[in-house]
Amino acid sequence: MIDPVTNALTPEAKFLLFALFMAILVLVAVIVLVAIIRGLPRRKFNKEYGIDLSRQIKVKHRKQALGGDGFFTLGWPVWASAKKDGTRDRRVKGNSIIWISSVLDIDGWHLEGKDPFVFYWVVNKLRAQGNRIRLCSEEADKRQWLLAEAASQAKSDSIDEIIARFESRPSEFEAYCADIFTALGWEAEVTPPVRDGGFDLRLRDTQGQTIIAECKCYAPANRVGRPVIQKLHGANAIEGADRMMVITTSTFSSDAVLYANQVDIELFDGDRLFELQEMAWGSYSDAKPVTEYDCRLTTAELKEYCPEDMFY
């Protein structure tokens, strides 16, 4: 390849080097051209909708636009090897997350992306611009839950209806009472069912006073007795709240009323519970309708669909 006399490249060597250089130049040009061509749909989409899409989202332009509202599905990550509850199986070496693609079809566009958090941000960004996109299955589930919640918060026709709703799920009656106070502008927290400290709710009213409350979903014939009042009073010796309440769907025995007056515990029977309920939510016809915006998923709700130990 080198002339031994002149110690220079031979014409053949120069030609090969030139051909190699040209081949590399053509290859680079092809790579750049392919990148430009592949990026055209993304740039066109960004220009049309005013959104700077993440590179991780693939964009395709359909020859024929789909009519009607856009629609999408969210794909959720899973462990390649997981336990029955969906958590990571640490006995497997090199275990990894498998990302299932999310898909959106809107107008003449088809989008795919593996990160549901980024993808959902894009969907809601499009919605905020006035683009109609139908609820995904997770949002539809939330809508059904919100409708059921709104119905449960509506003023019941009878005390028997409340009792029938919560008699087999007393912990939900506690949450129901907490929701009433929250609607009235108070802070409300349901204590854990185990080691609840002898009361069901921690409350803070609009004046900043702290309150502990015990909730009893009893049939009308089953009155709340003095022991329940004594237990709450004893619990407050440790909690140190400003006020104490006992809330029931029933009534209170005479001994319970007498003792409550002595230790300054407020009693809410079924009638007073109805009054609070009406103050909080009014009648069913007054219930606030569930809007599509209400069905949007929060970051915390999105995380519930992912493996619980994925973020550790």
Cβ-contact 129, 50 below 8 angstroms: yes
**pLDDT given at position 85:** 80
Q: What would the pLDDT profile of 107-131 be if each residue is shown by its tens digit?
A: 889 999 999 999 999 999 999 988 9
**pLDDT given at position 24:** 77
**pLDDT given at position 66:** 66
pLDDT range class, residue 284, cuts 50, 70, 90: very low
**pLDDT given at position 287:** 54
What average pLDDT score do residues 95-108 get? Answer: 91
What average pLDDT score do residues 148-174 get? Answer: 73
Cβ-contact 162, 296 below 8 angstroms: no
Least confident piece of the model among 41-45, 252-256, 261-265: 41-45
**pLDDT given at position 50:** 85
What average pLDDT score do residues 213-235 get? Answer: 94
What average pLDDT score do residues 228-252 get? Answer: 95
**pLDDT given at position 27:** 75
Q: Does pLDDT of 34 surpass 80?
A: no
**pLDDT given at position 167:** 79
**pLDDT given at position 285:** 44
Q: Does pLDDT of 17 surpass 60?
A: yes
Edge-to-edge order in the sheet of strand 243-248 = 187-190, 201-204, 210-216, 243-248, 266-268
Q: What percent of the chain has pLDDT above 90?
A: 41
Which residue would you say has higher pLDDT here, 170 or 230?
230
Q: Does pLDDT of 283 surpass 60?
A: no
What average pLDDT score do residues 82-104 get? Answer: 87
Under 8 Å CB-to-CB from 102, ≥6 apart: which residues? 72, 73, 74, 75, 112, 113, 114, 115, 116, 119, 120
Least confident piece of the model among 117-131, 191-205, 260-274: 191-205
Q: Does pLDDT of 168 surpass 90?
A: no
Which residue would you say has higher pLDDT here, 21 or 217?
217
Q: How far apart are CA 216 and CA 174, in angstroms?
A: 8
Q: Does pLDDT of 289 surpass 80?
A: no
Report if pTM > 0.75: no
Which residue would you say has higher pLDDT here, 66 or 276?
276
Q: Which two tokens stand for residue 6?
A: 């002149």
Least confident piece of the model among 76-80, 223-227, 269-273, 283-287: 283-287
Which residue would you say has higher pLDDT here, 273 or 36?
273
Q: Which two tokens stand for residue 226?
A: 């003095």
**pLDDT given at position 231:** 95
**pLDDT given at position 229:** 96
- CA 31, chain centre distance (Å): 42
Cβ-contact 298, 121 below 8 angstroms: no
Q: How far apart are CA 55 and CA 49, in angstroms?
A: 16
Q: How far apart are CA 106 and CA 45, in angstroms?
A: 11
- CA 113, chain centre distance (Å): 20
Q: Does pLDDT of 105 surpass 80?
A: yes
Q: Does pLDDT of 35 surpass 60?
A: no
